[in-house]
Amino acid sequence: MNRFSFGDTAALADDLLALVLAGTKTATCWSVAAGPPPAAIGEQAIVLDSAGRDRVVVETVGIEQCRFDAVGAAFAFAEGEGDRSLAQWRAGHRRFFERNGGFDPAMPLWCERFRLIAVLPMD
């Protein structure tokens, strides 16, 4: 089973995990340049916290390629960050991609929707 954490900092990993635990975050995205999608529909993965501990199991319910500038308001809302608006999503994700290899409005993204399957016990 694939294991990963969200974001590119410890604080972001924990903030985004908290949104998953709250049921607010049900989607994520990453640059196609970072590689192929790690999950197929129905596949499960473990999300880690900033300390590398297994925290939740999520299941992929949808995945598609989409240009950054074509991501819509519904997907931005499902990502669950900030005020959940498309404008906030674009600003925040632009900063993220600029920090992590470059940004282009036409860059292709993997856009994944998932559902929370289980919250794992803390050891």
Does 25 have pLDDT greater than 80? yes
Stated pTM of the model: 0.94
pLDDT at site 7: 95
SS3 (DSSP) at 98: helix
Q: Where are the extended beta strands (E) located within the chain?
A: 2-4, 27-31, 44-48, 54-67, 108-119
Read off the pLDDT of each residue in 2-30 and give the average, rounded to a whole number. 97
For β-strands 2-4 and 44-48, DSSP reports them as parallel
The domains found in the chain, sorted by start residue, are 2-119 (3.10.400.10)
| pLDDT above 70 coverage of the chain, percent | 99
Distance CA 118, CA 72 (A): 28
